[in-house]
Chain A
Amino acid sequence: MDLGSLDWLLPSLLVATLGLAGLLALRPELARGRRGRILAFFGLFVLPVALTAAGLSTHMEHAKSTEFCLSCHEMEPYGASLMVAEEGWLPAGHFQNHRVPQEKACFACHTDYTMFGDVKAKLRGAKHLWVHYLGDVPEPGQIALYTPYQNRECLHCHGGARVFVEGMMHEDILAELESGEMSCLDCHDQIHGVPETGEMETWQGASEIAEVLENGGSAAVEVSE
């Protein structure tokens, strides 16, 4: 646990509140009197509610991490597509060239860039868990998005970027891309390429990145030739 960050604060406050709630559970007579009532109000209302909200926020933030998404074995071949040696491979090109934050690579492309996009993404994640435990998990190559991929997600980063708008391929079709009349995937139709990625050569920097991501940090890897 890094004491420099405040990661230790929430568990510590939870333990303290747990002690207070436990004390009131064992000795409810402590809640008599003015001071006792104030103690009970904090121990059984204010602190548990505040800490549950803080815990939810922590979980929501952690659920955006690449490590979190790839911790389910169904996602392993999709994680492998980030690490293939072929730089032209769409996810690999984005991941290895830091076009998406490496510690939030899955989330960066698979959230909805709308007001409640994060919440919708988490609800989809909860549905994944439901299927994982209680449903029929499709074969790796058969896993598909619930709804067609929106250009909005690509244009969140690429839209307005000089290299994109002045690119000879995009210049003529910008209006169609922005209106959704044409999908980015009409041309960029090779995405994760599962299950072929399992047989492809892995990029040399992959092991170092995996190690850094496991520790929850951002990776800056020097690839030895």
Chain B
Amino acid sequence: MSSAEISTADTSRRRRRLSLAAWMIAAGLVIELVSLIWSHPTAFLLFLAPGAVLVAVGVAAFLWEIATNPAPVERDEPAPAAKAAD
């Protein structure tokens, strides 16, 4: 497998993990939102678990991903010098 293929596979894996973390956080936030609208003792439990637990796991997964696989920083826009060289 060439280095380009390895890099593409890494990027794809990184995106998948990031996406999974984001889905968990989004699901946790939906549950937290519902629990805040519903006024009942059960809503408090719903907020803690699964709501806050999902957010915590998602945040931990996101932090783990950026800490263990620091992707090379891509510039948002090409540098002026590079443009000139093109």
Contacts and interface: CB of A to CB of B under 8 A. Distances in A.
Interface string B52-86: 10011011001100100001011110000000000
Contacts of B36: 10-11, 14, 55, 58-59
A10 to B, nearest CB: 7
Interface string A49-79: 1011001101100110001100110000000
A24 interface: yes
Given A45-B59, A71-B40, A21 B22 contact: yes
Contact of A49 (B37, B59, B75): B59
Contact of B33 (A15, A28, A67, A68): A15
B62 A33 contact: no
Contact of A21 (B26, B52, B56): B26
Q: Is the interface of A mostly helix, strand, loop or mixed?
A: helix
B58 A44 contact: yes
A24 B19 CA distance: 7
A52 B18 contact: no
A26 B63 CA distance: 18
A40 interface: yes
B63 A31 contact: no
B18 A28 contact: yes
Contacts of A56: 47-48, 52
A35 B73 CA distance: 10
B41 A63 contact: yes
A39 B22 CA distance: 12
A26 B41 CA distance: 34
Contacts of B28: 48, 52
Given A33-B74, A34-B73, A45-B59, A18 B52 contact: no
A29 interface: yes
4 closest pairs, A vs B, by CB? A25-B22, A28-B15, A21-B26, A28-B18
Interface of B: 14-16, 18-19, 21-23, 25-26, 28-30, 32-33, 35-37, 39-45, 47-48, 51-52, 55-56, 58-59, 62-63, 66, 71, 73-76
27 contacts: A11-B37, A18-B26, A18-B29, A21-B29, A22-B26, A25-B22, A25-B23, A28-B19, A28-B22, A32-B71, A33-B73, A34-B75, A36-B76, A44-B18, A44-B58, A48-B29, A52-B28, A52-B52, A55-B51, A55-B52, A58-B36, A59-B35, A63-B44, A67-B39, A72-B41, A126-B45, A129-B44
